[in-house]
Structure 1
């Protein structure tokens, strides 16, 4: 199996292991960790900044930098080898694998958007379990039923249903399961570029995030503040046995 999946979605269960922190030293040497992060390319190599804000310098790696792109969103599986003492990075690590996270812009429904296009985006049930910001990305953790076919996931802004009564921009996670039977509960993360929401002269905008559940009712229904200038990383770590799915 390739260490880096280049086609923009998670292809299979990532069978890696996440170990809990050691209360004494903050981490355990030799243990495997997995979290979300962003690739940073240097002139001749790369490092990864996790969503918790840690810079990981790969003293050893199973992944070649030639397969990477600057700014790529990834699941990173790594082993901590030690602290970096000069302040340039946070940890020396071994990169065991990188898996590209599905990354997309907002899909805009306008007056010109046909019903055929809207149907292709889908109205199938999907459950949002968490959201967080990294720079200009809204990251969405979600669950859905399937297991046999490719599913389509998009974050939609509809000009005909643009804002809540309080002025928050409505963003709806849309799902097309392509008639895939509900064989297994699938789990995934997608990163959506929401920089188009920036308004000149403002430093933030409120967004209202929602999705349709199995009963056809909206769930999650949370107002989030997207800040343009203040980028506050949020720590995210995952149980890797839950990471699965086939989405694009």
Structure 2
């Protein structure tokens, strides 16, 4: 009876030990849009709230100053971070010429639109097969208000599968001289359910 109890307790302890090992907590991590800042050969990443993150090490990444990225990282002490992965996203500016002659209204499915830092950020879904799509942010200079149009062209890409795309457009050209008050603007995006209008501030 004693040996049976000993075996039972040993099995129970092994079971609890295994459960404890399996339930180890995964480290906290964050996924955010950020801007590349180069200091000589070193990379830093500025969040849209102005915070500058300093990675322990940057491996297998090459980006230019001002490139927008999706940054997956683990916070360490202070502003230090450990990077899990970095992915470049489309980074553009407002084009003052080209509307409406260069405007393309191939529809997209909007997931998120927001102004962060000095950028208009978009997450949207479109049907993709094998040909790279083109996007741009065009300004209607004939309008009395600030009207921006997201131009999206499938470039004759065949029918494919839903794909999430990310983009950031720098808005600094909208800043009023010697005026820190918000600058309102309208963003027009053609979706699968028709034209949507977003009223935003920079």
TM-score, with length taken from structure 1? 0.62
1:58 aligns with 2:55: yes
1:47 aligns with 2:57: no
1:146 aligned to which of 128, 138, 141: 128
Q: In the superposition, relative to structure 1, how do residues 205 and 185 fare at CA in structure 2: closer, same or farther (>3 Å)?
A: same
In structure 1, the gaps of 5 or more residues are 1-27, 227-248
Deviations 1:188-208 (A, max 9, x none): 111112222223243231011
CA RMSD of aligned residues (A): 2.6
Q: Match of 1:134? A: 116
In structure 2, the gaps of 5 or more residues are 1-24
1:225 aligns with 2:191: no
Q: Higher helix proportion, which one?
A: 2
Paired positions, count: 177
Q: Match of 2:186? A: 208
Q: In the superposition, relative to structure 1, how do residues 202 and 43 fare at CA in structure 2: closer, same or farther (>3 Å)?
A: same
Provide the C-alpha distance between the structure 2 equivalents of 1:189 and 1:114, rounded to a whole number of angstroms: 23
Q: Match of 1:171? A: 148
* Structure whose CA Rg is larger: 2
Any runs of at least 4 consecutive aligned residues in structure 1 with deviations exceeding 3 A, and if so which? Answer: 28-33, 51-55
Provide the C-alpha distance between the structure 2 equivalents of 1:129 and 1:146, rounded to a whole number of angstroms: 16
Q: Higher strand proportion, which one?
A: 2
1:224 is displaced (CA, Å) by 0.7
Provide the C-alpha distance between the structure 2 equivalents of 1:114 and 1:58, rounded to a whole number of angstroms: 43
